């Protein structure tokens, strides 16, 4: 494909090469942090959209992937509370939207996970023996998660104050 064909396709989609490059760069950053590749691409694409929302067909077109790939990615992103599903007004199709307070919601939803890990690790200390090397590692890890949870609570409060809400 030559550069002219590529440029005209991008203009037709309203999705510039520069935006596409940003989407792929940010998706790669998310992959490096452990998010699966296709959900990373879908999330970055939604984030780059002014409305913060697109249909499966629009995502498929922009990312040049199958609707099935988009469906699986959206399922993952919805499970981890990074996107929401909505019905387009007067239509049967769904649109997928990045939440307004996405990062706040994502981080605060980790509270439950941190609590669960700390509780399980505390039980592990008892099972492993508090004076064994494994028990001491489990205790230190539990203490770390408890500390992080307390700090996250404080950090989220400061973020709300910073944002004026």
pLDDT at 13 over 70: no
**Is residue 68 within 8 Å of residue 75, measured between CB atoms?**
no
* pTM, rounded to two decimals: 0.72
Query: Tokens representing 129?
Result: 């023996």
Q: The sheet that has 53-55: what strands, in order across it?
A: 53-55, 94-98, 83-87
Give the DSSP letter string of 110-136: HHHHHHHHHHHHHHHHHHH-TTSHHHH
Read off the pLDDT of residues 83-94 as tens digits, 9 standing for 90 and up.
Answer: 988 886 788 888
Please determine, for residue 1, whether its predicted confidence score (pLDDT) is greater than 50.
no
> How many whole angstroms from its chain centre is CA 135?
33
What long-range pairs does 79-86 form, CB within 8 A, spacing at least 24? Answer: 80/106, 81/105, 81/106, 81/109, 82/39, 82/43, 82/106, 83/42, 83/43, 83/46, 86/53
- The reported pLDDT for the residue numbered 14 is 59
pLDDT of 24 > 60? The answer is yes
């Amino acid at each position: 494909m030559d550069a002219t064909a590529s440029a005209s396709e991008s203009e037709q989609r309203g999705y510039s090469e520069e935006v596409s490059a940003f989407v792929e760069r940010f998706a790669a950053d998310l992959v490096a942090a452990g998010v699966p590749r296709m959900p990373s691409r879908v999330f970055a694409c939604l984030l780059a959209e002014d409305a913060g929302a697109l249909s499966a067909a629009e995502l498929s077109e922009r990312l040049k992937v199958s609707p099935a790939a988009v469906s699986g990615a959206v399922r993952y992103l919805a499970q981890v509370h990074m996107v929401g599903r909505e019905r387009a007004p007067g239509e049967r199709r769904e649109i997928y939207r990045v939440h307004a307070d996405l990062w706040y919601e994502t981080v605060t939803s980790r509270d439950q996970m941190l609590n669960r890990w700390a509780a399980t690790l505390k039980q592990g200390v008892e099972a492993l023996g508090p004076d064994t090397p494994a028990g001491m590692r489990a205790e230190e890890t539990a203490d770390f998660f408890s500390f992080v949870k307390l700090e996250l609570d404080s950090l989220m409060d400061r973020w709300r104050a910073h944002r004026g809400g």
